[in-house]
Amino acid sequence: MNDVIIKNIGSLLLPKKTDKALKGAEMDELTIVEDAIVVVKDGKVVYAGAKTDDYEAKSTIDAEGMVVSPALVDPHTHVVHGGSREHEAALKRQGVDYLEILRQGGGILKTVEQTRAASEQELFDKASKNITRMIQHGVLSVESKSGYGLDKENELKQLKVSKVLEESFPIEMKHTFLGPHAIPKGRESEEFLDEMIALLDDVKDYADFADIFTETAVFSVEQSRRYMEAANEKGFKVKIHADEIDPLGGLELAIEQNAISADHLVAASDEGKSQLKDSDIVAVLLPGTTFYLGKNEFADARGMIDGGGAVSIATDYNPGSCVTDNLQMIMAIAGLKLKMTPNEIWNAVTVNAAKAIGSDRGTLDAGDDANLVIWDAPNHEYIPYHYGVNHAHTVMANGNVVYT
């Protein structure tokens, strides 16, 4: 006997199950089954498709004509950190630039101070609130970066808290070492980078990926290449914060180094964007960050998708450049500012987001783990349209209702 049938689904969203992320025109393809059901047994999907009377189950959930999709995947967050930086928000509004605040020892370095001062328990308690809210908003896979420790003790502390979060909540997490996220005050960049490269061995058991912030006044392309080569040699998959503010060629480097994703890409070059088509890399765009930094130029999602690339979107949730953990809000901004279509947006937060973090989630086919969301909306276009509020009605993790 099956455990549960979700019946009376108005629109069932079925992103395509593939080995690689959806690229180019494929990103606008999304199977939508009207008048559908989903059958679940032992935490797995038995059937997801058009209504049929072929299945029986111990219980039913009436979706009342609402939308059902795979649970969302947030492939870029800095969810584990200490403190907050609301005082800098005022400075930014007065025109002080993000990198200038960092040069003055604020920004990321302020959060480093606050993270170093926090205990594991304090970091866990703070991040728990975000993870709880993410689940309530339909997200059941979260990538989590370190990068606010900048030394062995504190980077490991962040990564350990990230693991404990994964064990404590009904979510999948991927963990990323981002030691080269900023240069501590008084340190020389080459010598600090050497220390972070050496740290790769210590974090190996705690991190799935190695990431670096390639940016003016942070790490150069040459330094980033050195780090990524070392990480690749040590068996990490690599990621990069690339071309967020200045066009340094981070995207080209990411492709050269076989990165699983290149993130930000607001200032990526035409040459880099044209290389997306023939690579397996996922461009993870973070339009909430551009919005929150008060900039007008957003990443060229249209150029990347129309040029044949694979695009995902994420919150980038962090205390400085994007202070929201609500991925639905990012879906809205992706529509407004990245000019992505509703189908592209849904693929970007499900199957393509999963590929960006090496997860096999993001689909709802028979045999998949039953991680899904019932959305209180008349159709799938409605969710990125009616922005700023939570549309998740019921969230199911591995067959169990975890929020309703």
Q: Which residues are annotated as a binding site?
A: 76, 78, 85, 148, 181, 241, 244, 316, 318, 320-321
Cβ-based nearer residue to ligand NIG, 23 or 76: 76
Q: Which stretch binds ligand NIG (CB under 6 A): 60-68, 277-285, 298-306, 318-326?
A: 318-326
Residue 316 interacting with ligand NIG (CB under 6 A): yes
Residue 111 interacting with ligand NIG (CB under 6 A): yes
| Cα distance between residue 66 and residue 6, in whole Å | 11
108 binds, among ligand NIG, Fe ion, none (CB under 5 to 8 A by kind): ligand NIG
Closest separation in Å from C-beta 145 to ligand NIG: 8
Residue of 289, 312, 324, 343 that binds ligand NIG (CB under 6 A): 289
| Cα distance between residue 68 and residue 372, in whole Å | 7
Interaction residues for Fe ion, span 295-334 (CB under 5 A): 316
Under a CB-based contact definition with an 8 Å cutoff, are residues 69 and 396 in contact? no
Burial of 76 (0-12, 13-18, 19+ CB in 10 A): buried
Closest separation in Å from C-beta 330 to Fe ion: 13
Q: Which residues pair with 62 in a beta bridge?
A: 7
Q: Is 338 helix (H, G, I), strand (E, B) or coil?
A: coil
Question: Mask: binding to ligand NIG, 211-230, rule CB under 6 A, as x and -?
Answer: --x-----------------
**DSSP conformation letters of 235-282:** T-EEEEEESSSS--SHHHHHHHTT-SEEEE-TT--HHHHHHSTTS--E
Strands (E), 314-399: 372-375, 392-397
Count residues near Fe ion (CB under 5 A). Answer: 1
Cβ-based nearer residue to Fe ion, 4 or 139: 139
Nearest to 168 by CA among 127, 206, 208: 127
Alpha-carbon 254 to chain mean position: 17
Q: Which residues are annotated as a binding site for N-formimidoyl-L-glutamate?
A: 148, 318, 320
Residue 241 interacting with ligand NIG (CB under 6 A): yes
Q: Which stretch binds ligand NIG (CB under 6 A): 58-66, 164-172, 317-325, 345-353?
A: 317-325
In sequence order, the 6+-apart residues with CB closer than 8 A to the CB of 46 are 2, 39, 40, 55, 366
Question: Mask: binding to ligand NIG, 27-56, rule CB under 6 A, as x and -?
Answer: ------------------------------
Burial of 348 (0-12, 13-18, 19+ CB in 10 A): buried
319 binds, among Fe ion, ligand NIG, none (CB under 5 to 8 A by kind): ligand NIG
Strands (E), 110-258: 139-145, 172-177, 209-210, 237-242
Residue 179 interacting with ligand NIG (CB under 6 A): no
244 binds, among Fe ion, ligand NIG, none (CB under 5 to 8 A by kind): ligand NIG
Footprint of Fe ion (CB under 5 A): 316
Footprint of ligand NIG (CB under 6 A): 78, 107-108, 111, 213, 241, 244, 289, 316, 318-321
